[in-house]
Amino acid sequence: MKNTNNSAKVLVPLTAGLALMVPLFLGNNYYYDIFIMAGIYTIIGSGMNLLLGFTGQLSMGHAAFYGFGAYITAIGMKSYGLPFWLCVILAVGFCFAMGMLLGSTSCKLSGIFLVVVTTGFNTVVNLIMVNWEFTGRSFGIPGIPKPDWFGSPMNKLQYCYLVLAFVFLALFVSYRVVHSKTGRAFQAMRDNAIAARSVGVNVNKYKLLVFAVSAVYAGVAGALYASNIGYISPTSFTSNVSVTIITMTVLGGLGDLCGCIVGAVVVGVLMEALREFGDYQLTLYGVLIVVILIFMPKGLMGGLRSLYRRLCSLVSRRRTPAKQEEV
């Protein structure tokens, strides 16, 4: 316990510092975009981790919330000339409400039934995007502006830092939630709902809450996505994307706050790296993920942690005999 706490004191500022430095060395738009996407995946992954990792509920509908955030921002900025931050606030509010709505089904359903309902939700939302004039039908919405930064649109480097600020905020919120009453209630109802109720946890209330909050994460990620890429269409928000979000979270490590960073970076980079394999991209990606999970059932972060522990015990084993000699 002590060991991990101490190492966190070093690792957290180190990782944060590294993340702050990286954009300065990226140099071109292609790398900026990979960095930005990894950040966006981290945000959406931390939300999914709260839901799946900490309360054990599966949502196959998170790409829909991601889409809400993106479309609200695209339409808000382009058609109504709203500032970016206002669009983010609108996305947060809308996703919170829709998250509660989808979450309410989880009070009655679980397991495979919840999967079916949330997949259905994503499909319906996607169909609306494809067919509604207002959302630009299947063509989508081009020409989404960048946020203003003192009178001129943000450049890619500034945008990297905007995304990073939201990443830090998302991780901070998750950290606070997990380390207080709410997070304990989440974990308690994941481990045993009957026992959680027996000590006064209103399980249904917390189910709604966690769905709503993780939907907000996805919505914010969507807002950042739309304004960065400048052009959105329904294909970016299908239930396949929901599967990617879940894969990323599981790959990083469920119930591990740092897991979603690793998951996001790995999936973000993998998708780019495997792009040249064309049609085989998805297959290779699937195989890699299965292999990783076979060897690291607790995800990449779980694997890293056990590697770290092994190193620590190796070091201390070397040290102990020396101490004994002194005595």
Strands annotated E in the chain: 148-149, 152-153
Residue 258, classified by CB atoms within 10 Å of its CB into exposed (0-12), middle (13-18) or buried (19+), is: buried
Among residues 201, 221, 241, 265, which is the contact residue for another protein, using CB under 8 A?
A: 201
Residues 252-311 that bind another protein (CB under 8 A): 255
Kindly state whether residue 34 participates in binding another protein, applying the rule CB under 8 A.
Answer: no
Give min distance, CB of 36 to another protein, in A.
25
Instruction: Considering the complex, state which of residue 149 and residue 309 has its C-beta at the smaller distance from another protein.
Output: 309
Alpha-carbon separation of residue 197 from 57, 201, 205, 255, 317 (angstroms): 17, 5, 11, 21, 45
Min separation Cβ 169 and another protein, Å: 10
Helices 112-131 and 62-79, interaxial angle, to 10°? 20
The SS3 of residue 149 is strand
- Taking CB under 8 A as the criterion, the residue among 203, 243, 270, 293 binding another protein is 203
Site string for another protein, 52-81 (x = CB under 8 A): ------------------------------
| Residue 127-166 contact track with another protein, rule CB under 8 A, x = bound | ----------------------------------------
Q: Which among 49, 39, 38, 40 has a CA at the least distance from the CA of 214?
A: 49
| Segment lying near another protein (by CB under 8 A), choices 89-97, 110-118, 119-127, 200-208 | 200-208
Q: Could you tell me the smallest distance in angstroms from the CB atom of residue 165 to another protein?
A: 16
| Number of residues forming the site for another protein (CB under 8 A) | 27
SS (H, E, C) 212-255: HHHHHHHHHHHHHHHHHHCCECHHHHCHHHHHHHHHHHHHHCCC
- Cβ proximity to another protein, 81 vs 200, nearer residue: 200
From the list 121, 143, 147, the residue with the least C-alpha distance to 68 is 121
Closer of 117 and 201 to another protein (Cβ): 201
Report the nearest approach of another protein to the CB of residue 72 (Å).
22
Question: Binding of another protein at residue 5 (CB under 8 A)?
Answer: no
Phi, psi (deg, nearest 5) at residue 280: -85, -5
Nearest distance from C-beta of residue 85 to another protein, angstroms: 18
Minimum Å gap between C-beta 175 and another protein is 10
3-state secondary structure of 130: helix
1 binds another protein (CB under 8 A): yes
Which residue blocks in 136-232 are alpha helix, DSSP H? 156-178, 181-191, 193-198, 203-229
Question: C-beta of 315: minimal distance to another protein in Å?
Answer: 22
**For another protein, which residue of 36, 125, 213, 215 counts as binding (CB under 8 A)?**
213
166-195 residues in contact with another protein (CB under 8 A) are: 173, 176-177, 180-182, 184-185, 187-188, 190-192, 194-195
What is the 8-class DSSP label of residue 81?
Answer: -
Q: Which amino acid is at 246?
A: I
- Least Å from the CB of residue 186 to another protein: 10
Other beta carbons within 10 Å of 20:
13
* Residue showing tokens 């900025």: 77
Distances (CA, A) of 175 to 119, 181, 182, 219: 28, 12, 11, 19
Interaction site with another protein (CB under 8 A): 1, 173, 176-177, 180-182, 184-185, 187-188, 190-192, 194-203, 209, 213, 255
